[in-house]
Amino acid sequence: MLSGKFRSALVIGGQGIRARKLRTFLSMVSLFLGVLAVVAVQAGSEIAERAMLTDVELQSGKDGTVRGYVPGEKGAPAIVESTLKGRSDAVAMISSNAIIGEPGVRPINEGGMPFEYAGQGRGYYGPNMICDSNGTCHEQKQPEKKPDGQAIEVNMVALTGDIRPFKPFRPVSGSWLEFASAPSLAPRIVLNEEAAKGLRQYRVPGEMTIEGATHHVTPQIIGVVQDGDMQPRVYMRLDELRTWMPSATETTNPNQFRGGGTSLELFLQPGTDDLQQLLKAKLVGAGVPQDQMQFQTVKSKERMESELRIMRLIFLGMAFLVLLIGVAGILNVGLATVGERVEEFALRRAVGMSRMLLAGIVLAETLLTGLLTAALAIGAGAAGLQVALMMFGSRFPSLVGTAFPWEAGVAGVIAGLVAGVLGGLIPAIRAAKIPIATVMRA
Amino acid sequence: MTQSFEQPTVQVQAPLLQLNGITKVLKGQGEPRTILSGVDFTVHPGQSVAILGRSGSGKSTLLSLIGLFDRADEGQYYLHGNDITKLPERRAAALRSAEFGFVFQRFFLLKHLTAAQNVAMALVNGQGWSSPRKRKQQVMEALEQVGIAHLSKSKPTRLSGGEQQRVAIARALVRKPRIILADEPTGALDTETGNLVVEVLLNTTRQGCGLVLVTHDHDHARKMGRVMELRDGRFN
């Protein structure tokens, strides 16, 4: 239950605001911009952080995910596949190269480079280098040049399960792979935007040549996703790929892995230490050197927060300065109002109100004004965000569906309260010091 | 000059308030000026006292000290036999609310509030809390007591001087005080309205309330049970 004093302060504070609507409005105008600045800075930094995090998550995986790198040799893919079979808390990605289009020709974007650089040769990645065990490297001899043809080269990623709980790919069109049904002989593939761009840009036959496969494959394109990668990439089920491979995707040639051949990447949910240990034990048992296996937890948020902190502090400092101008406005109006209300305050004290409560009433009025302004500024911020998303959302896909961050709302309320206290404190002290006898005798 | 017109129906009881040897010195920028000098003053329940005196004689200062607006520099103040000379401000505010009702020459009504809200102001002062319904009932009783219940929803700007002063009296009465302190309540009113206001104030003494009336008007003073005159900070 609220105390009598608190209720009295609220009732009288409310009466004061109603009685001086114009003054309250003027106080709110000066404060509005300050609170809005705080709300905008907080909302902006939260949204920027989320947008950056979303982009990072597309490539690195969600925060807390354990990411593992294992050489794709010595039967590692088969071991990983059998260990992860039927598990939803871990997914493996086996990457290789594939060519979609005419077989036996030089693809338009040789090496799987972005189409923006198509036709510039392998210069995009630089020459292929081969290093011996002593660390001496030399340029790999270029293979025999093939004739130019209608084909594009993509990075092909075979998945043991749904990767989206780890990497939140954004759907662009069609559907994503489903892993519950029986594998199809015509592998279903999902393109990333760059691969889709290549297929849109160049008319290539619907035939796919997968590195190491025994036959050419006719894939079914079922969807397009945004995966945050610049390189053209296609995703498919590993079991559908298996049909076309001689005996898993392993290779006995270690150089093939380094030169863009098979690579193996693992995504494990936090708290799957047992699985991690099991995988390591099996792989070491199969002869994979332990020092070539890496497992690390994704900590993108922590890294980004430290990057954003300084920027956020600078902007919040600027917003605080704007807020101070608003506080000065409230203070100015508050002092003028106390001067006008000397008789009222003296009378209230004469009828039994204590100095403390009188000060509380003046503070209650400025606090209510601050809160009201904060509510308006938060509303304006949320509305502004919606308008901005409607106008510019298509240019920034990571912002689509962004909600107004609650942190900005909290910051706005705190700013309103702080401004109310700072702006009302001196008028409150003055009101409490009004001498009843002098005023009532005048 | 002290005249005694004690009403025979009122039984003399223990004093409501008693001031002994009260001295008040005004310390401004110039020389300190003694406003009250060793004043003794007593009010009993149901007693009405008029204080007469020229401007600057210390009438309003005495009323301020009685009403706990200010503190005496010397002397003792007893309320219901308790020494409240050095009462802390918070207790003084509580006593102002519970024991005293104040009526001023200039009414001091808040223009943005209705007559009822102005009266209710004395109830919404942080000294306890009553429900809006009970508050309304108390306010209407007080307005009824001064005969202007029908004007409860009117704002002060739409009331005559007499009506405004009656709203102010209702505000003073709404907490059922033991003592009414009236500082020249008829000073801004015509004779007829002034008489009406004095009658209303006198009515409160019939219910056992003490009344201290500061006035320049001898006719009004004569209606009080006791008349005292202040001259140069002392009672004659």
Residues of A in contact with B104 (CB under 8 A): 440
3-class secondary-structure state, position B40: strand
Residues with Cβ within 8 Å of residue B219, at least 6 apart in sequence: none
* Nearest C-alpha neighbor of A233 from the set A169, A184, A293: A169
pLDDT of res. A196: 92
A262 phi/psi in degrees, rounded to 5: -70, 135
Q: How far, rounded to the nearest angstrom, does the alpha carbon of residue A116 sit from its chain's CA centroid?
A: 26
Q: How far, rounded to the nearest angstrom, does the alpha carbon of residue A80 sit from its chain's CA centroid?
A: 30
Residues of A in contact with B26 (CB under 8 A): none
Q: Hey, are the CB atoms on A4 and B129 less than 8 Å from each other?
A: yes
Shortest alpha-carbon distance between residue B109 and chain A (Å): 8
Residues of A in contact with B125 (CB under 8 A): 8, 348, 351-353, 357
- Among all residues of chain A, which has the CA nearest to that of B60? A441
**CB contact at 8 A, A56 and A300:** yes
Count the neighbouring beta carbons within 10 Å of the beta carbon of residue A159.
22
3-class secondary-structure state, position A106: strand
Of A19, A347, A354, the CB nearest to B112: A19
Shortest alpha-carbon distance between residue B105 and chain A (Å): 9
Which of A409-413, B52-56, B231-235 holds the top average pLDDT? A409-413
Q: Hey, are the CB atoms on B127 and A4 less than 8 Å from each other?
A: yes
Residues of B in contact with A343 (CB under 8 A): 108
Of A9, A351, A356, the CB nearest to B96: A351
Give me the mean pLDDT over the B178-194 stretch. Answer: 88
- Among all residues of chain A, which has the CA nearest to that of B173? A351
pLDDT of res. B2: 45
B138 confidence band (pLDDT: 50, 70, 90): very high
pTM over 0.80: no
Which residue is listed with tokens 């001086």? A20
Q: Hey, are the CB atoms on A437 and B61 less than 8 Å from each other?
A: yes
3-class secondary-structure state, position A376: helix
Q: Is the pLDDT of residue B80 over 60?
A: yes
In whole angstroms, how far apart are CA B223 and each of B6, B15, B47, B50, B191? 11, 21, 12, 9, 14
Query: Judging by beta carbons within 10 Å of its beta carbon (0-12, 13-18, 19+), is residue A129 exposed, middle or buried?
Result: exposed
Per-10-residue mean pLDDT of chain A, 442 residues long, equals 72 82 84 88 82 80 88 80 86 89 84 80 56 62 68 90 89 90 88 91 85 79 90 91 63 39 81 88 86 86 77 83 86 88 89 88 88 93 88 74 86 92 92 82 60
Using the Cβ of B124 and the Cβ atoms of chain A, whether some distance falls under 8 Å is answered with yes
pLDDT of res. A410: 93
Amino acid at A392: F
Using the Cβ of B110 and the Cβ atoms of chain A, whether some distance falls under 8 Å is answered with yes
Using the Cβ of B132 and the Cβ atoms of chain A, whether some distance falls under 8 Å is answered with no
Q: Hey, are the CB atoms on B93 and A349 less than 8 Å from each other?
A: yes
pLDDT of res. A190: 94
pLDDT of res. A136: 66
Of B97, B108, B171, the CB nearest to A343: B108
Beta-strand relationship, A151-159 and A233-237 = parallel
Of B60, B93, B117, the CB nearest to A352: B93
Using the Cβ of A19 and the Cβ atoms of chain B, whether some distance falls under 8 Å is answered with yes
* Nearest C-alpha neighbor of B127 from the set A350, A338, A368, A365: A350
Q: Hey, are the CB atoms on B125 and A441 less than 8 Å from each other?
A: no
Distance CA A28, CA A36 (A): 11
| Least confident among A311-315, A329-333, B46-50, B209-213 | A311-315
Q: Hey, are the CB atoms on A436 and B113 less than 8 Å from each other?
A: no
The string of DSSP codes covering B80-120 is TTEE-TT--HHHHHHHHHHHEEEEETT----TTS-HHHHHH
Ramachandran region, residue A160 (left: φ > 0; alpha: ψ -120 to 50; beta: rest): alpha
CA B161, B163, B165: angle at the middle one, nearest 5?
A: 70
Using the Cβ of A349 and the Cβ atoms of chain B, whether some distance falls under 8 Å is answered with yes
Over chain B, what is the mean pLDDT? 87
Using the Cβ of B112 and the Cβ atoms of chain A, whether some distance falls under 8 Å is answered with yes
pLDDT of res. B6: 47
Give me the mean pLDDT over the B135-159 stretch. Answer: 92
Element (H, E) at A154: strand A151-159
Distance CA A168, CA A55 (A): 9
Distance CA A177, CA A227 (A): 14
Q: Hey, are the CB atoms on A5 and B126 less than 8 Å from each other?
A: yes
User: Candidates 3.40.50.300, 1.10.10.10, 2.40.50.110, 3.40.50.1860; correct CATH number of B2-235?
Assistant: 3.40.50.300
pLDDT of res. B4: 46
Residue B198, both tokens = 């004095």
Using the Cβ of B127 and the Cβ atoms of chain A, whether some distance falls under 8 Å is answered with yes
Shortest alpha-carbon distance between residue A28 and chain B (Å): 21
In whole angstroms, how far apart are CA B178 and each of A297, A367, B5, B68? 78, 37, 20, 14
Q: Hey, are the CB atoms on B171 and A351 less than 8 Å from each other?
A: yes
pLDDT of res. B62: 92
Which residue is listed with tokens 């209702």? B170
A388 phi/psi in degrees, rounded to 5: -60, -40
Q: Hey, are the CB atoms on A351 and B97 less than 8 Å from each other?
A: yes
Amino acid at B144: E
Show which of residues 402-441 on chain A sit within 8 Å of chain B, judged by CB atoms. 435-437, 440-441
Distance CA A113, CA A280 (A): 33
**CB contact at 8 A, B33 and B6:** no
Give me the mean pLDDT over the B150-177 stretch. Answer: 92
pLDDT of res. A130: 61
* Nearest C-alpha neighbor of B65 from the set B39, B104, B30, B97: B39
